[in-house]
Each structure stands twice: as structure tokens, then as C-alpha cells.
Structure 1
Amino acid sequence: MPLIIDAGYATHAGPRERNEDFVGMVTPAEPELSSKGLIAAVADGVSGSEGGRQASEYTVRGLLADYYATPETWPVTQALDKVIKAINSWVQKQGSSRRELAGMATTLTSVVLRGRFYYFAHVGDSRLYLLRDGRLSRLTTDHVWDRPEMQHVLTRAVGLDSRLAIDHGMGPLQEGDVFLLATDGVWATMSEYDLCHHLSHLLGGDADASAVGTALVENAVRAGTKDNCSALVLRVATLPDENLRDAVSGSRRLPVPPKLKPGQLIDHLEVEEAIHASQATLLYRVVDRHSGRKLVLKTLHPDRADDPAERSAFAHEEWLAKRVVARFFPQVIAAEDRNWLYYLTTWHEGDTLQQRLDAGLHFTAPEAIAIGTRLIRAIGALHRRSILHRDIKPANVHLGADGELRVLDFGVAQSGLEQEDAVDAPQAGTPSFLAPEQFNGEPPSRRTDLYAAGVTLYLVLTRHYPYGEIEPFQRPKFGNPVPPSRYRPDIPLWLENVLMKAVARDPQDRYETAEEFELALERGASNPTPRRTAGMPLAKRDPAMLWRAVASMSIVLNLLLLYLIVVR
């Protein structure tokens, strides 16, 4: 579903001979609508100057054109800031170099609606209002002198000074939101109650945006306004699904909470205990005071609060977690009126595989097979959503008291769902579970996730790693994996063959898909996986044949020696 907006405007010269206001809007098609959004702006040229109209028109036209020429990698606020300041330099230069344009300046109020957020840039005394849930809020501040007799004199305007300070803001969008951009000829003649009354006709379906804009301007003229009157009205009809760009933008506006202690409150959530702490993130078990429900709260470590890369990665993690709606994963819970940077997931009683291993629990082969089958199904669910987990290990596999297996932590997960989602970090994850090719800079793949799952099952059964434990920053050399039967002679041969294929050094020798791996575990001894022999020493793959070969060579050599003796 795309972003759909009902828009309309009206402008009138009022009692003046010339209309120095200028109104403009761009509603692009895809892909610009998703990447850059739609933009609307009003400007009120400074009266008493020949350049007032030129300043307002040039500023609005320049902003609408140049905004879409900025790089897509720039945040919206950065793009607006760069464009408006460039326009200010040109307007200020024209006003100072051309006598007939002396004092050339204008107010400017603009808003960008992109995805599920709005962004605005403002200078001067034109205004931006938001009507939401029947309540009208003014989002901008007038840049005028504080003294009553000087409130019509601007302290900031485009072209007024070579240096321009621009007010910026942003916030989430909701369906039904109504925005009003108006010059002082409109808002100065009407109370906020009257503005709200006119805009409310949009919500009731009594009028469209064009009719409301016209009604506002006509009302201002009838009220005896002494200035030009312009009103631009936008109503949000439908919102698109949240994309990664929106999630990253939203993460920038929220502060990171300090370290929390049991009993403390964050919004309406009470902290029960700290669950886990890493260098980048913190996890807490919390209780929602509204519902009494136990949840998991994940947030950035306060030391990473000012790191844009960490904020983006955290937003990316939350965005991915929202998209894996399946029983194999904790589910993200919507956090309403969130005032801090965090996200919530369901909390489940139970332990991770690593916790059970650390507690000394030993798993039988049937138990490991059951765990492996469910783990591979979870990985398959991720792969069907074009998501690579990249950190499958016992610490991220949770065995719930409800009998469900859940995969945790999407901190280094990677998705092919968006172009900006690419991650140039092939070794992200835990070293002992990284596939051999990743140490050579090869990118992660489905096979690397399945390799990590194979190492996890190998470790669960044997408490050893197939290639030995690998320390961080170590550059390992991979030989042949140690057969798990060396540590667990009771492991069935068919299961050993499955694990050896899963952790093969060459990615081409491993399982290609999760479905193939799952089938190998499920069919078990009834249709066993053949033993991979390529590259394996003869002494390991068939010791009896080795000794028969040695005996045959010995006989041949003895016969040859006997022949030489007889000939002499």
C-alpha cells in the first residue's frame, strides 16, 4: 500500500495589489515516493520589497526541484538543510547586489511526508499545524521580535542574512493526520479553535482538502486580513508498511535510556532484571504495568548512544525482527508512545542451549536430532524471507518451557529485502561457528547459516568443535573435521555422516538448503546420508582397505626382490 495523500491549496492577494505568497507541492511516483517522499511548501515574501515575490517563488521552486536532486543516502533533514541554505545564499546575494531587489527575503515553511514519518524545515512566521485525534498542534515557532509592537518584524528569513538558522523537526505519521501550512494572512485572523473547526471537516468527510483550503482563505479575507492569504492542506489517507529507511530515521529521534536497575520505570514498563549485556546492547525483563505482561526490552548500550552506525544497526535489527512472524522466533510487541530507543519482544520461560550445556546437561542422540530438526526449520523460515541470521549458536537457540524452540538475536542478521541493507562484514558472528570461507572474506550465504547449525549440533552432542575452538582475531587453518564418533562412540553412523556433511570445509560439499538438511535428519537410518569421502585420507575413510593395500604392496615388493636374487 503506497502513501496516499489528499491535498489542496488556496491563495489570495487579500487587500494588497500583489500576491507575494507562493505555494508549491510535488507528489512523485515510485520509486521517488518511497525514497524521497512528497514535499509541500509555502513562502511569504517580505512586503515592501520589489523582490518579495521573486524571493518566495524562487525559494519554493528551488526547494521542490533541488530536494529530489540530493543523494538518497542523505537523511531528509540534511537534504532540506543543504538545499535551503544554498537557496538562502543566492537570494541574499541578489538582494545585496541588485538595487531594485534590496531587502529581498521570504519566510519558508516546508514539510516532507515519507513512509510513516513527517519532517519539516521552517524559517520566518508562516506556520505548520498538525490536527490529530481532534487536537490541533502548532509544530513551528515564529521567528519575530518578542516586543509586542515588533511582532511583525522577522528575525529570521531566507535572504535576510548570509547565515541562516533553520528549525527542523520530525515525527511519526498516523492515518487521518491533517497538516496545514499557512501564511500569517490566514492564521493571524483566526483562532486555533476556528482553524481546528475548518480542518475537522476533512475528518468527517464533509469536504476535501481543496475545499477546506479555500474556506480558510475566504474566511481570512472576510475577517479583514491586511495581508496575502495562503493555505495548503494535506490529509494522510493511507500509510505504507514501515521500511528500513523509516526505521533508521525513527531511531535517530529517540534518546538511549541509561542503564536500568530492577524496580525502575521506563515509560509504563517496570524493570524486573537485567537478562544480558553485550558491548553494544542491553536486555531486560520488564513488566507492562498496563497489561501485567512480562516482556523483553532490548536497547543500545549508553556508551553507543552517539554512534550513528550502532543506531542504524539497532533499527535494522528491530525492523528484521518485526518481519519474522513465526513460532520459531520471539515476536515484537508494538510499543505505543515510546519515549526512548528500545523495542519489546515476547518473553518465554526456559533456557538457551548454551545455558543447558553450561549446567552440565548431556543430550542423547534422539534429543539432539529433535533439536536439530526444529532449528533447521527455523533457519528455513528465515531463508524463505531472504534473511540470513549469521550468528547461529547454542546461546541464540532458546528451548522454551512451552516446548517451542526459538532462535534469538538478529543483531548481525542480513537481509536482501532492501538495497541499503547490505553489510560489508563477512566475519560478523562468533568465530567458532563461522564457515571456513568467511575467514577468506567470502560473503555470508545460506550455506554459512547451515554450517553454523551443524557446528551447534556437533557441539551439543560432543562438547567439542569439529575444527577446534577458534579465538577472536585468530586466522585458523582448516584441515578435515574430526568425526564426532571420536568423542561419542554411541552416535549412529548415519547421524555422523549428516554432521560431517553439514560442517564440510568446502561449501559445495554441504547442504544447499535448509529443507535438504532437515530431510537428512528426518529420514535418519531409513535412508542414510552417504559418507563424504572426497579429500579424506584413506586411513580415515577405510582403514581395512589401507592395510590390504599395504599387504599387497609388500607381497609385490617381496616377489620382485626374489626375482632379482634368482636372476643373479
Structure 2
Amino acid sequence: MCGVSARGQLEIAAGFATRAGKRTNNQDFGTVDIGTASQRAVQGIVAAVADGFGNAQGGRVASELAVRAFIDGYRSQREPVGVGAAAMKSLDAYNLWLHGQSRSDPVLRGASTTFTAAVLLGRIATILHVGDSRAWHLRAGNLTLLTDDHSAPQAHGGRALLRAAGLEPALRLDIKTQSLEAQDRLLLTTRGVHEFLSANNLLQLLARREEVAQTDADAIVDAAIAAGSDDDTTALVIDIITVPSPAYSSVVAGMEALPIRPIPALGETIDGFKLVRILAESKTGRLFLAKRDDEWAVLKLPDPATTTPIERTRFMREVFLGQRIAHPNVGASLLLPEGRQSRLYVAMPYYKGETLEDRLRRDGPMKVDEAVAIAIKAARGLAALHKASVTHRDIKPGNIMLLENGDVKLIDLGVAHLPRLEDVDEVETPGTLDYMAPELFRENRGDALSDQYALGVTLYRMLSGKYPFGETPPGERPLFGPVPPLSAYRDDIPAWLNAVILRTISLRRDDRFGDLDEFIFALEHGNLRPAPLHRGPLIERNPLLFWQVLCAVLIILLVLSIVRR
């Protein structure tokens, strides 16, 4: 049915099969929602099945709407409230609606539906369940039932639902979690399958592991029908091919105990990496080009003399985010085998190229088309971070890599802010003075709008070779004020581009773009639809003209007052 994979994220394959029973229409419904790359990073992958009950049409309407309403509602929630809370918020509204419709709408009269879903996020599957559909988990030859049937036997035979979506005004949803490992299998079934196939039957069918999950989903449904099932039969099989790197807490647990040792010399070998060349040095550490077997890598090693607890935290964040955010415009970090790392360092892929800072220092301002193309790629990477609720907080040319093949990658995620992690140990907001938005010198600790500002300053410098407010001496604050238009430095800047850049570096946060997707759209289509630019007060745009106008008005008023006397 489908498969998805991405570096640092979950890789699955899925198969779905369903057959109608003795009724003319199939009242079961199921699907797998992969989502976009950013949705997978934050909300995971959703798989769900539902078995509707009601009249000829009502059961199918109830089951399909339950699944679709859940997915739409879950995906639309922007705040990170957790899978369970987001699921309840999505399903409560649908349950109340269906309960009302089942008592008033002729099509949905008496309708209700089971609902069983698995939300796969990171290394965890969150199982959401009401009714008598089922969720199963297979690992190492053991098949475990993850759900309880909310039904009871009837005197005249069959079973009656005790809990289901639409059956009661308040939904009673079971929520539990299951850890995930590579080679696990998940199975979601409706009653038409597990009422006719025992757990042992299902184990034998799942353990075959045919070439694709779809083959086994088909085989399960076919086996249920062959066993005499006259109900609608549905099976959804999910293969866990690889699991993502550990969560931040796991990364911290694995790295906190690593020693910080003296920086090694060229030629030494660290955990199989031979140090070949020094790429960069700073007061806090050194960057080496290294080689392990046929793999080139970059190792970032801290200096024990200057590494503080804050610096250690930044190393751990850089490792985690490099593995967690899978995007072509975001630099990665290498996932080392568990127990392999003998000291604190960050291992990253080796990208052939140079930083944007090196390029600007060597060649000066760039051509308009080239600068815009680089800004768009950098913005896409930054947007991916923001959609994962991560703020970079140090966007500048030195942290933008220009690869030889034309790719652009954001690097140095050590000072990034992660959701739900407080930066209580930071004395001041991190960043580079000339790229820091005005709000960062107050209470703001950095967010998507301050990242946007820094990217705008970067683009301004790419085109002019200058900083919008002049270069700030070390230890001082930028002198924010009117920004010279880019036309003051060169005559080939389109008016729309000047407007876009001035909007991103507006001193007023509300005047900037709502998000980077808007910024990207403006760069890609600016010549077709110029970005609106907030015209700030005249005193900010042109102080000289302001005072000239004010003085003229005062003179006129003075003359009028004299004449009236």
C-alpha cells in the first residue's frame, strides 16, 4: 500500500485489504496517512480502521467520517499537546456530532462506529481504541493483543457494543502506548477478521513476512473469508523497517557521561575516525576532517579548558537535531553505534563546499538571482526547523553551507531552542550581534520571527556587502534605525525584492512575514506580486524630512498666530 522513510525518522511499509460481507456495501473503512515531512516529524504517521453500524448507508458514513475527521482534526492542531490529548480533542467533537445525528438524521439514525488507530511517532506507537476492532503487535515471534473489546454477548447470539463513537454523548477512548523496534509488525483488524481467525492463525499469517505488507494483508482477509466470515473484513498491516534515533532524553543520557578529553593531534584516531585535517578552530574547540574506512566525516571536538555545562548541552542538542530533523537543507549528524563513542564530540557528514561567509569575504556582494536562490533554500531548511517547533537562533552566513553541487545547508544547531526544553542555564540569548532582532535584547529568547529577521539581514548583506544598521563593535548593541534601501548600493535591485527584505528586517515584529512559507513565496513570485511593506512612521523612514515638515508646520502656525493678533 505505501512506504515512507527519511534519515533520522521512522521507515515503514503498509498493506491494507478489505472485503464486503453479506451486505451489499462495505461498512468498514481504513487508511494510512503518511503526512508531509514536517507533519511526520512532529505528529507522526497515522493508521486507522473503523467498523460502522447502522442502516444501509449510515454505518459506512459513520466509519469513514470517523477516520477522516480524526486525521483532519489531529493534523490541524498546531500546539504540541501530546498525541493522546490531540486525539481526544479530535474525536470528542466528532463523537458528539455523530451522537446527535444518529437521533435526528434519517441516514445516520442509530449509527455508531468502532475506531482503532495507531499513531507512530518516534519510537512509540500510541494506540487509540473504542469498540471491538483490534490492534495487535508482533515482535520476535510473539503476537500481543493491544486492545480490549468493548462488547458483550447477547442472549440470542452475537455481541452488542458497549462503547463506540456516536453511542454515547461522551466518548470513552482507551489510550495506551507500545514501544517500536525495527522488524516489529502492527496489525489492525475489524471483527470480521478476528471473530473467525484465532490469535494463533494471525500469528502464522503475520510471521510468514512475505515480500510486501500488502501480500500479508490480502492473505489475512482471504483466510477470514475462507474460515466462514460473512461480515465485512479489514486488515491493515504495518511493517516497522527502521526506527528513528533516540529521543532527546536518550541522547542526553548517552552523552552526559562522556568525558571531555584534550584535543587530539592530527593523525590520531578517535573511535575509528582518523583525523586528516583541521578545518576550523575557536576558543571552545576544533573542527577536523576525518575518515573512517571509506567514509569522510567532520568531527567537532570541545576544548576541556573552555567547555562549560552550557557548551556540553549545546553539543548534545546538535547531535540530537542533526539526527531528528531530516531535510535536504538542514545539516545532519551521524548516528554512531550504541556504546561506540568514547568521548564527547559531534560527528557530521562531510559537505564539500564553503560557508556563505567565506564566499562573501572572498567575492563580495552576489548576483541577484544567485542570492535569492540561496536565500530560498536556506529558508526552506529554516521552515522545516520551525515546523518541528525548533528555533535556530544563530542564522548568519557562517552557518550556511554552500555545497559544490549547488545545495545549501543550515549548520551549527548547538544553540537551537527545542520545544518544551527551557534554557534556564543561559545567561543571555545566544546569537551574533549584527543578526539579532531588537526583541532579543529584551525578554525574547528567540523564535521563528527572530530567525526570519536574521535571514533577512543575511540576504541584505549578500546583496550589498553591508549590514542594515552598520557593523556593531564587540560588546555593544546594534544602533537600530532607518535602513538604507539596497538601491543605495546598487542599481539592479528590483523594487519588490527591496520591499521583501525590508519587511523581514522590520523592527516591528508584526510587520514581518507570518512565517517563512510566505517569505519563500514572496521571493519566488515577488516580481508577479510585490510583497506589501509596512510604511513605518516618517520619523523612522526619513528623519530629516520629518523634522523639515514639522518645522514648516510650526512656522505656518506661528505666522498664523501673529497675523490673528
Which residue does 2:485 correspond to in 1? Answer: 483
Contact map agreement 1:327 1:406 (CA 8 A) in 2: yes
> 1:293-324, CA deviations, whole angstroms, 9 ceiling, x for partnerless residues?
1111122222245x433323321221122111
| Residues 363/256 of structure 1: CA separation in 2 closer, same or farther (3 Å cut) | same
In 1, the alpha carbon distance for the partners of 2:555 and 2:538 equals: 26
CA drift at 1:464: 0.9
The answer as to whether partners of 2:244 and 2:324 remain within 8 angstroms in 1 is no
Shift in Å at residue 427 of structure 1? 2.4
Within the alignment, does 1:270 sit opposite 2:290 as a pair? no
SS in 1 for 2:445: coil
Provide the C-alpha distance between the structure 2 equivalents of 1:445 and 1:388, rounded to a whole number of angstroms.
Answer: 6
The aligned residue for residue 40 of structure 2 is none
Assess if the C-alpha contact under 8 Å between 1:299 and 1:341 holds in 2. Answer: yes
Q: How far apart, in 2, do the equivalents of 1:312 and 1:554 lie?
A: 59
Return the offset for 1:533: 1.4
* Kept after mapping to 1: 8 A contact 2:316/2:414: no
- Taking the aligned partners of 2:470 and 2:376, their CA distance within structure 1 comes to 24
Amino acid at match of 1:343: V
Contact 1:368 1:460 survives alignment (8 Å): yes
Cα pair distance change 1:423/1:523, threshold 3 Å: farther
Q: Using the TM superposition, give the Cα deviation of residue 393 of structure 1 relative to its aligned residue in structure 2, in angstroms.
A: 0.3
Q: Tell me how far apart the structure 1 counterparts of residues 270 and 409 of structure 2 sit (CA, whole Å).
A: 27
Deviation at 1:367, TM superposition (A): 1.3
Contact preservation (8 Å) 2:318, 2:346: no
Give the C-alpha shift of residue 240 in structure 1: 9.3
Structure-2 residue corresponding to 1:527:
529
Go from structure 1 to structure 2 and tell me whether the alpha carbon gap of 1:384 and 1:175 turns closer, same or farther (over 3 Å shift): closer
1:377 is aligned to 2:376:
no
Shift of 1:280: 2.3
Tell me which residue corresponds to 1:311: 312
Task: Give 1:423 shift.
Answer: 6.1
**Whole-Å separation in 2 of the counterparts to 1:301 and 1:437:** 32
For structure 1, the residue ranges without an aligned partner over 5 or more in a row are 2-114, 117-173, 177-237
Q: Deviations for 1:311-362, whole angstroms, at most 9, x for unmatched residues?
A: 2332122112211111112222222322222231111111111001111243
- Per the alignment, do residues 554 and 438 of structure 1 end up closer, same or farther by CA in structure 2, a change over 3 Å counting? closer
How much does 1:515 deviate?
Answer: 0.7
**Could you say which residue in structure 1 is the equivalent of 2:298?**
296
Structure 1 residues 485 and 269, CA gap change in structure 2 (3 angstroms)? same
- The CA distance in 2 between the partners of 1:540 and 1:514, in whole Å, is 29
1:540–1:261 distance in 2 versus 1, CA, 3 Å: same
Question: Does residue 365 of the first structure (1) align with residue 385 of the second (2)?
Answer: no
Task: Please give the alpha-carbon distance, in whole angstroms, between the structure 2 residues aligned to 1:343 and 1:550.
Answer: 59
Q: What are the Cα deviations for residues 430-485 of structure 1, in whole angstroms up to 9, with x where unaligned?
A: 01100011112322111000000000000111111111112332134422222222
Give the match's secondary structure for 1:388. Answer: coil
Does the Cα contact within 8 Å between 1:414 and 1:423 map onto a contact in 2? Answer: no
Aligned partners of 1:412, 1:461: CA distance in 2, in Å? 27
Q: Which residue of 2 aligns with 1:451?
A: 453
2:512 aligns with 510
Give the corresponding residue for 2:356.
353
Q: Which moved more, 1:382-391 or 1:341-350?
A: 341-350
Which residue in the other structure is 1:394 paired with?
A: 397
CA shift digits 1:94-147 (9 cap, x unpaired)? xxxxxxxxxxxxxxxxxxxxx99xxxxxxxxxxxxxxxxxxxxxxxxxxxxxxx
> 2-side partners of 1:421 and 1:552: how far apart?
52
Following superposition of structure 1 onto structure 2, how do residues 311-330 of structure 1 map, counting pairs within 5 Å? 311-330=312-331
Alignment check: 8 A CA contact 2:329 2:408 kept: yes
CA RMSD of aligned residues (A): 3.6
1:318 partner amino acid: V
C-alpha separation in 2, matches of 1:244 and 1:539: 45
Residues 529 and 536 (structure 1), Cα distance of their counterparts in 2 relative to 1, 3 Å cut: farther
The one-letter code sitting in structure 2 at the alignment partner of 1:316 is R
Output the amino acid matched with 2:281: A
Q: Structure 1 CA distance, aligned partners of 2:310 and 2:547?
A: 56
Residue of 276, 279, 290 corresponding to 2:283: 279
- Following superposition, the deviation at residue 277 of structure 1 comes to 2.0
- 3-state SS of the aligned residue for 2:493? coil
Q: One-letter code of the match for 1:335?
A: L
Q: What is the CA distance between 1:552 and its match in structure 2?
A: 9.9
Q: Is the 8 A contact 1:388 1:413 kept in 2?
A: yes
Counterpart for residue 429 of structure 1: 431
State the partner residue of 1:493.
Answer: 495
Cα distance in 1 for partners of 2:510, 2:433 equals 21
- Aligned twin of 2:237: none
For residue 144 of structure 1, what is the aligned residue in structure 2? none
- TM superposition shift of 1:425: 5.1
Match of 2:464 in 1: 462
Alpha-carbon offset, residue 559 of structure 1: 11
Q: CA deviation at 1:398?
A: 0.7
In 1, distance between residues paired with 2:544 and 2:473?
33
User: Secondary structure of the residue that 2:490 maps to in structure 1?
Assistant: coil
- Structure 2 vs 1, CA of residues 258 and 494 (structure 1 numbering), >3 Å: closer, same or farther? same
Contact preservation (8 Å) 2:252, 2:316? yes
Q: Is the 8 A contact 2:355 2:402 kept in 1?
A: yes
| Letter in structure 2 aligned against 1:351 | E
Q: Distance in 2 between matches of 1:553 and 1:421?
A: 51
Query: Which of 327, 338, 341 is equivalent to 1:338?
Result: 341
Change (3 A) 1:497 1:239: closer
Aligned in 2, Cα 1:379/1:559: closer, same or farther, shift over 3 Å? same
Say if 1:481 and 1:503, in contact at 8 Å, map to a contact too. Answer: no
2:460/2:468 contact within 8 Å kept: yes
TM-score (norm 2): 0.52
Aligned pairs (5 A) from 1:154-169: none
Distance in 1, matches of 2:333 and 2:551, equals 66
**Greater Rg by CA:** 1
Give 2:529's aligned amino acid.
N
Match of 1:96 in 2: none
Q: Which of residues 244, 256, 265 in structure 1 aligns to 2:248?
A: 244
Question: Kindly, what percent of the aligned residue pairs are identical?
Answer: 32
Contact 1:414-1:422 at 8 Å conserved across structures? no
Code of the residue aligned with 2:515 in structure 1: it is T
2-structure distance, mates of 1:335, 1:440: 39
Partner of 2:407: 404
| Count of aligned residue pairs for this structure pair | 329
Q: Distance in 1 between matches of 2:265 and 2:443?
A: 41
Q: Flag the 1:551–1:325 CA change in 2: closer, same or farther, 3 A.
A: closer
Displacement, 1:244? 2.3
* Helix, strand or coil at the partner of 1:444: coil
Conserved? CA contact 1:426–1:441, under 8 Å: no
Structure 2 residues without counterparts, runs of 5 or longer: 1-8, 10-121, 124-179, 183-241
Structure 1 239/516 Cα, relative in aligned 2: closer, same or farther at 3 Å?
Answer: closer
Give the deviation of 1:245 after TM superposition. Answer: 2.5
* 2:333 and 2:346 in contact (8 A); partners too: yes
Following superposition, the deviation at residue 542 of structure 1 comes to 12
Please give the alpha-carbon distance, in whole angstroms, between the structure 2 residues aligned to 1:477 and 1:363: 25
Distance 1:420 1:269, change over 3 A: same
